[in-house]
């Protein structure tokens, strides 16, 4: 039955929805701050993450196409690589790393 599939889909969507909400909140907070190169960079990161959500590849690593660990996205919803790629990436610009 189609309805079963649909509710499974909604479960997944719900999952992404919480990240989307956080991203929007972050974007709004950033736009209230004074514009500096750092905040601009953050705004860019959030906007890219929101685009990736729209494209449906939000949870996939940009480098290896593996799935990005939920923990990493919980920590920073703008992350675009999985833990493995982030630790060996040449331009691993990880906050707090
Ligand atoms: Zn990866």
Q: Is residue 61 situated within a structural domain? A: yes
Whole-number Cα distances in Å, 80 to 1, 30, 60: 35, 19, 7
Q: Which domain holds residue 44?
A: 2-88
68: CB partners within 8 A, 6+ apart: 59, 60, 61, 79, 80, 81, 82
How much is the pLDDT for 15? 80
CATH code of the domain containing 8:
1.20.120.910
Indicate the number of domains in the chain: 1
Query: Of the given ranges (59-63, 87-91, 93-97), which has the lowest mean pLDDT?
Result: 93-97
pLDDT score of 74 more than 70: yes
Distance CA 8, CA 15 (A): 11
Q: Is residue 93 situated within a structural domain? A: no
Q: Is residue 7 situated within a structural domain? A: yes
Q: Is residue 69 situated within a structural domain? A: yes
* pTM of the entire predicted model: 0.75
**Among candidate residues 73, 84, 67, 66, the one with its CA nearest the CA of residue 46:** 73
The mean pLDDT value of the chain amounts to 86
Q: Is residue 95 situated within a structural domain? A: no
Q: Which protein residues have their CB within 5 A of the ion that is ligand 1?
A: 61, 63-64, 66, 82, 85
Q: Is residue 47 situated within a structural domain? A: yes
pLDDT score of 10 more than 90: no
58 alpha carbon to ligand 1 midpoint, in Å? 13
Q: Is residue 60 situated within a structural domain? A: yes
pLDDT score of 39 more than 80: yes
């Amino acid at each position: 039955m189609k309805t079963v599939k649909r509710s499974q889909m909604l479960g997944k969507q719900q999952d992404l929805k919480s990240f989307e909400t956080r991203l929007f909140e972050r974007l709004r907070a950033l736009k209230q701050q004074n514009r500096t190169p750092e905040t601009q960079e953050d705004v860019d990161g959030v906007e890219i993450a929101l685009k990736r959500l729209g494209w449906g590849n939000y949870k996939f690593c940009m480098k290896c196409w593996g799935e990005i660990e939920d923990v990493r996205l919980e920590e920073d919803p703008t992350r675009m690589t999985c833990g493995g790629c982030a630790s060996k990436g040449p331009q691993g610009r990880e906050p707090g790393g």
